[in-house]
Structure 1
Amino acid sequence: MKALDLQPHQPNTIPVGAGLSWRRTAAIGPAKTTAIPLVDHLADLAVESLIDEAELSPKPGLVDRRSSGAHSDMTLALMHASALSLWPCLRQMAEAAEQHGQIGVPLRTALGRIGRDGEAVMLATTGGVNTHRGAIWALGLLVAARALDTRADAATVAARAGRIALIDDPAAIAPDSHGNQVRRRYGASGAREQAQQGFPAVIEHGLPQLRRSRAAGASENHARLDALLAIMAALSDTCVLWRAGPQGLQALQQGARAVLAAGGCASLDGRRQLRLLDTQLLHMNASPGGAADLLAACLFLDKTGSL
């Protein structure tokens, strides 16, 4: 156990909107703030990150405000309903981290149980459609890691989440998921390995690109699209491998790099390249769902950076 894992976490209440703007009363007199539990705030931000990812448009091959992308079984409304259904699960994960106070088997076991229960609620909400299984894994780990220390920077939170992910869950039964089948067939790493390594696609690619694009004057929508493309360019997305094989993954990564090389989504040439990538993915019926989950993780780390 590292000393960092044993340090006490911060007080478990936070002003509403902390990191954004405090909610103030309209009455004349001293300004007031309303405190809510930290675990509620983290769940709020995690769900908000999922909704922001779903709403972001135009995303190549993915559900957004324009269409269902390469998904015949998903809509934007379904993504909203799924995200909202996960609030209790994400809150419980943050609460488990507060209660256990350190990384270890008890916390990992609790997170696994809560995650499986949350997945069941999600599937009941969506009629059996897997909208956010990968996001439960990624955001659940990050919510717990952030609850352990509200002052750590994004890289430290992601590394802490990775240490949680490295612990085996004794109650987990390995499903024969698409991701596991792709790993066996192509030797590609998936969501499990991405988490265990401390989310390198987010920390080394997504977040830096988000900040670079903002600094260059891009709109928030364009900056977030650029962050998504940076993740796509770096990630061996098992969702794309499942649907389109290695050639599809290569097309995704090359297309994402072409958008960024053309100036990103804030530039006319970049948007032309983005349309080409979208057309190509739809033709292959390929949807980069792994990158979408990691964009939500990226947005969560960005939102919680000033807690």
Structure 2
Amino acid sequence: MSAVLQPRVAPLPRTAVAQLGRLAIASLHTELALAPKPGLVTPFDSGSHDDMEAGTFLRSLFALRHYFSDIAHAGADDAPFDVLRRHGIAAEAAMRHATGGINTHRGAIFSLGLLVAAAAACRREGLSTSGAQVCLAVQRWSQSLQDAPLDAASPGQRARARHGVAGVREQAAAGYPVLRTLALPTLRHALATGLTRDAALCHTLMTLVAELDDLNLLHRGGRDGLDWARAQAAAFLAAGGAFAPDWRPRLQQLGAAFVARRLSPGGSADLLACSWFLLQQEAA
């Protein structure tokens, strides 16, 4: 009896893989350039951060430019999760070397890296490249994600354990429901109804802040700080968000209040960059 032949998957062109890496870096740069962003670093101020400014982020992005291309190639080659993890560990070391030990992009190295690999895998397998499908494709590594060791000493993991909330690992293992059901629909709607790119991104950022158990907010402000930030974001949205004509000065005023409390929604910012990447890669 002849063996059953398995369908062959055509190799993904290297130019298409490299483009995913470039889109990832461009998405992180788009998030950095966005303003106003309460508590977060922009080209105009350092938000609630004393140890970093826009230049720190730019040095980090330059150091990470090969990482996103490498992890795209790993996804296109159907590499096991351990290969992706090694790429991420090396990327974090490169980031810290470039920034003098400052954590600018650790969350993005994890989440955006997985999404880049998943986007490449979807292309290789001829699957839909919709943002939602790419998020779901991350579930192919769910078991490995749950089995991988945690860095219990990291501020985010300490906050996660102290307050009993889910983190990015759980989001990834579930196929990033916060991106599929909240961030991407919000961003699509804002753009489709005529908001500028920056207004749509700011509106989406505040939608994430209002709903997410942001570990950076928990680390900096505890449960009270998180609850305060979520309430402020919800009030901004209830008043029209970026659809209101006075949204920019209101968001700038809110930013001053975040800085006064030393609060920074870094987890929400990472997911905003992921959302922009997911939209951009659909057309790639």
> What's the TM-score once normalised by structure 2's chain length?
0.90
* Mapped pair 1:142 → 2:115: yes
Between stretches 46-55 and 171-180, larger displacement belongs to: 171-180
Q: What is the correspondence of 1:46-85 to structure 2 with a 5 Å cutoff?
A: 46-85=24-63
Deviations 1:112-150 (A, max 9, x none): 011001110110000100000000000110011000113
- Provide the rounded CA distance (Å) in 2 between the counterparts of 1:219 and 1:173: 39
- Provide the rounded CA distance (Å) in 1 between the counterparts of 2:138 and 2:64: 19
* Mapped pair 1:160 → 2:98: no
Q: What is the correspondence of 1:52-131 to structure 2 with a 5 Å cutoff?
A: 52-100=30-78, 107-131=80-104
Between stretches 199-208 and 46-55, larger displacement belongs to: 199-208
The 8 Å contact of residues 146 and 173 in structure 2, kept in 1 or not, is answered as no
Name the structure 1 match of 2:215: 238
Judging changes above 3 Å, is the alpha-carbon distance between structure 1 residues 153 and 171 closer, same or farther for their aligned structure 2 residues? closer
Name the structure 1 match of 2:3: none
Q: What is the correspondence of 1:1-307 to structure 2 with a 5 Å cutoff?
A: 12-13=12-13, 37-100=15-78, 107-150=80-123, 151-168=128-145, 172=149, 174-307=151-284
Between stretches 271-280 and 146-155, larger displacement belongs to: 271-280
More helix by share: 2
Between stretches 50-59 and 148-157, larger displacement belongs to: 148-157
Structure 1 residue 170: deviation in Å? 6.8
Q: Share of identical aligned residues, percent?
A: 37
- Provide the rounded CA distance (Å) in 1 between the counterparts of 2:106 and 2:262: 20
Higher RCO (CA-CA < 8 Å; seq separation 6+):
2
Between stretches 268-277 and 133-142, larger displacement belongs to: 268-277
- Provide the rounded CA distance (Å) in 2 between the counterparts of 1:286 and 1:9: 47
Judging changes above 3 Å, is the alpha-carbon distance between structure 1 residues 194 and 169 closer, same or farther for their aligned structure 2 residues? closer
- Provide the rounded CA distance (Å) in 1 between the counterparts of 2:38 and 2:254: 6
> What's the TM-score once normalised by structure 1's chain length?
0.84
How many positions carry a matched residue from both structures?
Answer: 275
Judging changes above 3 Å, is the alpha-carbon distance between structure 1 residues 39 and 172 closer, same or farther for their aligned structure 2 residues? farther
Name the structure 2 match of 1:29: none
- Provide the rounded CA distance (Å) in 2 between the counterparts of 1:52 and 1:193: 26
- Provide the rounded CA distance (Å) in 2 between the counterparts of 1:57 and 1:91: 27
Deviations 1:211-247 (A, max 9, x none): 1111221111100111111111111001010110111
Between stretches 134-143 and 178-187, larger displacement belongs to: 178-187
RMSD between superposed Cα atoms in Å: 2.0
Structure 1 residue 270: deviation in Å? 3.2
Structure 1 residue 273: deviation in Å? 3.7
Judging changes above 3 Å, is the alpha-carbon distance between structure 1 residues 8 and 230 closer, same or farther for their aligned structure 2 residues? farther
Deviations 1:94-127 (A, max 9, x none): 1112222xxxxx5100000110011101100001
The 8 Å contact of residues 45 and 303 in structure 1, kept in 2 or not, is answered as yes
Structure 1, gaps ≥5 residues long:
1-5, 14-35, 101-105
Structure 2, gaps ≥5 residues long:
1-5
Question: Which residue identity is paired with 2:69?
Answer: R
The 8 Å contact of residues 141 and 164 in structure 1, kept in 2 or not, is answered as no
- Provide the rounded CA distance (Å) in 2 between the counterparts of 1:7 and 1:265: 48
Secondary structure of the structure 1 residue equivalent to 2:41: coil
Structure 1 residue 297: deviation in Å? 0.5
Structure 1 residue 276: deviation in Å? 3.6
Structure 1 residue 268: deviation in Å? 3.1
Judging changes above 3 Å, is the alpha-carbon distance between structure 1 residues 160 and 72 closer, same or farther for their aligned structure 2 residues? same
Judging changes above 3 Å, is the alpha-carbon distance between structure 1 residues 260 and 8 closer, same or farther for their aligned structure 2 residues? farther
Structure 1 residue 64: deviation in Å? 0.6
